[in-house]
Each structure stands twice: as C-alpha cells, then as structure tokens.
Amino acid sequence: MSYRRPTGRRKGLYDGVTDELAALMRTGWADSQQLDLAPEAQAPYAAARRDALSARFPGERLVIPAGTLKIRSNDDLYAFRPSSAYTHLTGDQTPDAALVLNPMPEGGHEPVAYLLPRSSRENGEFWLNAATGELWVGRRHALEEAEQLLGLPCRDIGNLVDDLTTSSVPTRLHQGHDAALDQRLGTDPDRDTELGEFLAELRLIKDPWEIEQLRFACTATTRGFEDAARDLTTAIATSERWIEGTFNRRARLEGNGVGYGTICAAGPHATIMHWVRNDGPVRPGELLLLDAGVETNDLYTADVTRTLPISGRFSPLQRDIYDAVHEAQEAGMAAVGPGARYRDFHEAAQRVLAAHLVDWGFLDGPADRVYELGLQRRFTMAGTGHMLGLDVHDCAQARTATYVDCELEPGMVLTVEPGLYFQQDDLTVPAEFRGIGVRIEDDLLVTPTGHVNLSATLPRTSTEVESWMAALTD
C-alpha cells in the first residue's frame, strides 16, 4: 500500500515541532462520531454484485484495491479516482483502500472493506500529514460510520498486508491499481487476469440503480451542451477553451465532473479523434465538434457528441456530410436491441458511410466491397461505439466472446457514434472536404423490446440542430 502510518514526527517542514505544540494539538477536540447512518442507496446493489463475484470464485480470496494517490507535481496530487471495479463492488470512493472477499468454510465469502481510518490525534497525523491528515484533506468516515453507509464490515487498511500474508488462502488480485500489492500478491498473472475479466463482465449489464445514474448523467450532459451552444459567441471571441470551461463547469456543478477529457474541436480539429488540447480558435462558418459527458457523483458517465455549425446554420457541404453521418447513426441505432449482435450496429453504420464515400467518388465501389475490405476506415477512423458505465469505455477488459462477439441483452448501455473525418492534408478528397469532421454520438440502453436513447433530448438531425441553436440563442 502507498499509505504508511506515520511513525514519528515528520521530517522537513515539520522539524521543530516542540513537545508543547504536539501536546497542545493532541487534545481539546470534540467527538464528531456519527451514529445511525442510513446505508447508501447503492449498498444492496453492491452486495448483489459481490454475491455474483463470490459465486464465480468459490474457495478463493479476492482482493480488489481502490488504487492510490498519485503525484501530479512535487507534493501536489491528482484528484483521486478509484478503480471502477472497487467502487462498483463497494460504493466507496476513498483512496488507499481495498475490498477483500474471504472464502468461508461453509461456502460463499465474507466481504471486508479495508479503509483508511480517521486521522489519529495521538501521533499528529491529522495535522502533520498533508496527504492524508484530515486537517488538510477533510474529514473521513470512521470505520464504524463506513460500515453503516456501505453495509459491509470495515477494517483499518493498516492491517491489510498482515491479514493477507498470515494465512495461505489461494488469492486472486485485481492487478494494475496498487503497485505495492501487485508486487506482493500478484504472483499468478493468468489467474489474476481471469479475475479482471470477470470484474469487467460483471458490469456489462447495468442494474436499475446504475441505469438511473446513466439517465441522470445524460440529462445533466444535455444541460452542458445547451450551455455550450449558448456560449458560442464568447467562444468565437476567445477559443475552444471557453467551451471546455463552460461544459466542465456544468459537469462539476451537477456531478463529480467530466467522465473523460472534454473534446472541444473547432474547424479542422474535429478531424482529430481525441482532440483534448482545446486551445484553438472558434471561427464562424466552421463546425464545432463537442464530445463530452457529465460523470455523476457516483462516477457513472455519459458520452455524447454533437457537431454544431458555429454560425448556427450548416453550409450545403457541411449539411451533406452531417446528414450522411446522421443516416449512418440511424442505421446503427436501428440495429440495437435484445438478441442483435454487438457487431450489428457497427456494421450497419459503416455500410452507410461506405456507400456515401463511394457516391462522393472517394473510394472505388461497390460499397459492399469497400466495407468488406474496411476501406471506409480511412475516413471513419474509430469503431462505431462501445459499452458505457463507470468507465467511458466500460468493460474494456471483458473477453471478446462476452463483449465484441456478444448478443445484446437488456440492461446493456452503449454508445452509437459514427463519424466522418476528412483530414486537412488528405489529397484523396476535394479541397472543400478537407478539415471537416462530423460525429454524432448517443447513449443507448438496451431494453426487452428494443432500446431507449438516454441522450435523446439533444437534437440529432441537421434541421433540429439548427432550430435548437436558434431557440437557445434567441
């Protein structure tokens, strides 16, 4: 673990703490213990997820670390984001923690969340340790409080290594989140990989609580796009940075923040898939591709893209390209439903784009040949979508058979996001196409009868986009 309980007075800046000051700091603090806390709404769902994990690995100890604090520069830390598997199984978001499922002789597992306890007043940690001391970073829940909130036994993280090493139970570790634990426990990469795959696959089908999270993420994201569209005049006077700031403020206000780096790409930057520098000009007459998602306080993210005409109206060529992408998205969305193959929506959308590229004369047809050879990918670049949830590209460690080769099931949430990207230096297309990028991305929940578009409140057709922008800026 990265956390080490301070053993004495801290060196450096804190040299010179006198015994008198240490004594003064130790006492005179009110007891703030909170009793009778109600369990978090997610607690029963997290318990059901742990039960599924327990059933998959009988008789084995499972260790799922939250992850550790990371230095950004000198003593400044990145904002902490727990591993998605850890928060999925506990509802907790604290750093330097771990969930352990201990196999029981009678079958099943007993879960224990190992957490950082409240700062000690005795050894001065609360005011001498700037990384974890509560006087520096804010109050944590006492272990007894966390037990009530999370609905599972909690223990001091300081006991973790001893608890794991004093008995020789076969153990699997979710590797890649805590370097010290990886080194100590990660002895069987294949078995640990199996655990990682299962943890990802456990998130393929969202439970009702998760679906509400994603609904809210999409609703808040809609408000962020409205803010951004209203701010285009200021963006023209400044840069892409303004729109990034506008969306990110909404995300911070309504949730934890953004679920991934906001892509705010004006003009030719829209042809760069993950343009997150966001430092370019916003010019009238060009397009602005905004790919952004609000992440809820419980860390579920939306992932939505709209491509907006900066002046409020598409030029005829921009509209042609936009409408081709919209047609592809319609075809892709029509292929999303229970029993459809995951690959179907990708194929449906890509075939439409291939046909347009042939019609425009950029690829030699027929379109079926173009699709079979994948030639359209010069202009479509990425896949047409992905699973969505705690991670923007959720369940990425799942096996091919359960994800890419799966049949869709109710409760899955995925993006459908076709795009066309004509690079500025692409000599195979006419000059007027160069530097134009369009993507339309929505978040779909697979239902027993088809799908629901969770981001449907944002306009999708070129005409609807124009009317929406006009209404917002009236």
Q: Which residues bind to ligand GLY, rule: CB under 6 A?
A: 260, 291, 303, 392
Measured from the CB of residue 301, what is the shortest distance to ligand GLY in angstroms? Answer: 9
Decide: is 394 part of the binding site for Mn ion (CB under 5 A). no
Question: Which residue lies nearer to ligand GLY by CB, 370 or 454?
Answer: 454
Question: Which residue lies nearer to ligand GLY by CB, 291 or 295?
Answer: 291
Per CB under 5 A, the list member of 84, 256, 278, 415 interacting with Mn ion is: 415
Which long-range contacts (C-beta less than 8 Å, at least 24 apart) are formed by 394-401?
394/84, 394/200, 394/203, 395/200, 395/201, 395/203, 395/204, 396/200, 397/196, 397/197, 397/199, 397/200, 398/197, 398/200, 398/201, 398/204, 399/197, 399/201
Distances (CA, A) of 115 to 89, 97, 104: 14, 5, 22
In the numeric block, which tokens belong to residue 314?
């598409």
Distance CA 409, CA 397 (A): 18
Measured from the CB of residue 117, what is the shortest distance to ligand GLY in angstroms? Answer: 38
Measured from the CB of residue 291, what is the shortest distance to ligand GLY in angstroms? Answer: 5
Decide: is 380 part of the binding site for Mn ion (CB under 5 A). no
Measured from the CB of residue 334, what is the shortest distance to Mn ion in angstroms? Answer: 19
87 binds, among Mn ion, ligand GLY, none (CB under 5 to 8 A by kind): none
Asked if 333 contacts 442 with a C-beta cutoff of 8 angstroms, the reply is yes
Question: Which residue lies nearer to ligand GLY by CB, 119 or 296?
Answer: 296
Buried b / exposed e along 463-474 (16+ C-beta atoms within 10 A): eebbebbeebee
Instruction: Count CB-CB contacts under 10 A for residue 280.
Output: 16
Measured from the CB of residue 303, what is the shortest distance to ligand GLY in angstroms? Answer: 5
Interhelix angle 462-473/316-334, rounded to 10 degrees, is 110
Question: Which residue lies nearer to Mn ion by CB, 63 or 263?
Answer: 263
CA 205 vs. chain centroid, Å, equals 16
349 secondary structure, DSSP code: H
Decide: is 132 part of the binding site for Mn ion (CB under 5 A). no
Question: Which residue lies nearer to Mn ion by CB, 177 or 326?
Answer: 326
Decide: is 442 part of the binding site for Mn ion (CB under 5 A). no
Decide: is 303 part of the binding site for Mn ion (CB under 5 A). yes
Question: Which residue lies nearer to Mn ion by CB, 415 or 423?
Answer: 415
Measured from the CB of residue 169, what is the shortest distance to ligand GLY in angstroms? Answer: 39
Residues at the interface with Mn ion (CB under 5 A)? 303, 415
